[in-house]
């Protein structure tokens, strides 16, 4: 039995109406509203340790690593998977990952669309005034309010801020250091505004995103348009129309592309028989799977495997 790409072991948390997949084993303090996150961030003083841009080489799989510093990664290009403490999360543009020391993290990149992301490592101390007295708490005593994977809406604005930070990281001077701190605060503000926008967009958007996530987790199952609409609590026609408007694909087309992406990975990186690959991505009939694959990808599964297995071996 071929394991699914994204095992269904996410832990859902809602930030406003924004869906957040909590890391398995993460503390319950993550169930915070945007206002509560803002209150926590306002008490923190940050020191930036490192800023960079990473483009993964899919021919060199990244090893499992233990996170040593608080950090976040913003995916800007490509597709892949980020595994945190044994739980898989889809990595694609608009996904923002927050890590804390001690997390076990592994990166995997799509062969055709290598992952690219900005990363920023930081240290912080909780510092605030209470009853006219200064309170100081080092980060081990003050858990960071953001952990795991988030989806952001205004991705270009986040990329712009990180591009600016990355450019400033290559420069030195007290004024430059001050500018970096200001831009990091701008980043936090933009993130909170993004959460708030999701909160104001209503339950319908959250329901659509929930079914989108559900398809990523359960693509190997016999999902139907009716079952997805029921999961969202909407009529079939209303659900289909809203999904197409928000995501850009019809629900079934979106599911089909998820399945074909997984099939492409298996065709290139494994020696499984075509029938096994078809079954693993939700198709009982390998001939029907082959027709759908050729319609979506442009070539048959066998031709695709011949071409890209040869390339992968170079």
Segment 265-312, tens digit of pLDDT: 999 998 899 999 999 999 999 999 999 999 999 999 999 998 888 655
142 vs 44: CA distance, rounded Å: 9
168 vs 164: CA distance, rounded Å: 6
Phi and psi, residue 80, nearest 5°: 175, -155
Q: Taking Cα atoms as reference points, which of 122, 106, 171, 135 lies closest to residue 43?
A: 135
pLDDT of residue 68: 95
Q: Are 67 and 185 contained in the same domain?
A: yes
Angle 236-247/251-269 helices, nearest 10 degrees?
Answer: 60
Q: Are 186 and 214 contained in the same domain?
A: no
| Residue 10 binned pLDDT confidence (cut-offs 50, 70, 90) | very low
Q: Are 248 and 152 contained in the same domain?
A: no
Q: Are 34 and 16 in contact (CB under 8 A)?
A: yes
Question: Between the CA of residue 263 and those of 2, 143, 180, 272, what are the distances in Å?
Answer: 11, 40, 43, 11
Domain boundary among 200, 217, 239: 200
Q: Are 40 and 148 contained in the same domain?
A: yes
- Would you report the helix, strand and coil content of the chain in percent, each value rounded to 5? 45, 25, 30
Domain count, the chain: 2
Angle 236-247/203-218 helices, nearest 10 degrees?
Answer: 80
Q: Are 180 and 215 contained in the same domain?
A: no
pLDDT of residue 261: 94
Segment 209-256, tens digit of pLDDT: 889 999 999 999 999 999 999 888 888 998 999 888 878 889 999 999
Alpha helices in 42-200 (DSSP H): 155-169, 174-200
Q: Are 104 and 85 in contact (CB under 8 A)?
A: yes
pLDDT of residue 83: 93
Range of the domain at 71: 11-200
| Predicted confidence (pLDDT) at residue 33 exceeds the cutoff of 70 | yes
**Percent of the chain residues past pLDDT 90, beyond the cut:** 64
In a domain, 1, yes or no: no
In a domain, 3, yes or no: no
**Measured at the alpha carbon of residue 116, what is the angle toward residues 54 and 64, in degrees to the nearest 5?**
65
Q: Are 66 and 128 contained in the same domain?
A: yes
| Residue 129 binned pLDDT confidence (cut-offs 50, 70, 90) | confident
Residue with the bigger pLDDT between 255 and 27: it is 255
Q: Are 123 and 242 contained in the same domain?
A: no
Segment 76-102, tens digit of pLDDT: 999 999 999 989 999 999 999 999 999
In a domain, 34, yes or no: yes
């Amino acid at each position: 039995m071929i394991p699914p790409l994204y095992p269904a072991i996410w832990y859902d948390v809602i930030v406003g109406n924004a869906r957040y997949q909590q890391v398995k084993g993460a503390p319950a303090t993550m169930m915070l509203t945007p206002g509560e996150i803002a209150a926590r961030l306002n008490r923190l003083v940050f020191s930036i340790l490192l800023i960079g841009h990473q483009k993964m080489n899919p021919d060199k799989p990244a090893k499992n690593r233990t996170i040593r510093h608080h950090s976040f990664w913003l995916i800007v290009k490509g597709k892949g998977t980020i595994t945190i403490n044994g739980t898989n999360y889809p990595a694609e543009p608009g996904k923002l990952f927050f890590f804390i020391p001690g997390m076990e993290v592994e990166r995997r990149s799509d062969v055709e669309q290598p992952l690219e992301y900005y990363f920023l490592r930081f240290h912080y101390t909780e510092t605030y005034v209470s009853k006219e007295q200064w309170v100081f708490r080092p980060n081990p005593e003050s858990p960071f309010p953001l952990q795991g994977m988030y989806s952001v809406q205004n991705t270009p604005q986040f990329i712009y801020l990180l591009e600016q930070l990355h450019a400033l990281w290559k420069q030195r001077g007290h004024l430059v250091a001050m500018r970096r701190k200001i831009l990091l605060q701008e980043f936090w503000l933009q993130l909170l505004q993004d959460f708030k926008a999701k909160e104001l967009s209503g339950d319908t958007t959250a329901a659509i995103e929930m079914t989108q996530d559900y398809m990523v987790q359960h693509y190997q199952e016999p999902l139907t348009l009716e079952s997805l609409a029921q999961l969202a609590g909407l009529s079939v026609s209303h659900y289909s129309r809203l999904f197409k408007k928000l995501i850009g694909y019809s629900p079934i087309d979106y599911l089909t592309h998820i399945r074909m992406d997984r099939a492409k990975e298996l065709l290139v990186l494994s020696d499984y028989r075509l029938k096994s690959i078809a079954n693993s991505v939700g198709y009982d009939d390998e001939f029907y799977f082959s027709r759908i694959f050729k319609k979506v990808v442009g070539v048959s599964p066998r031709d695709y495997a011949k071409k890209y297995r040869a390339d992968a071996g170079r």
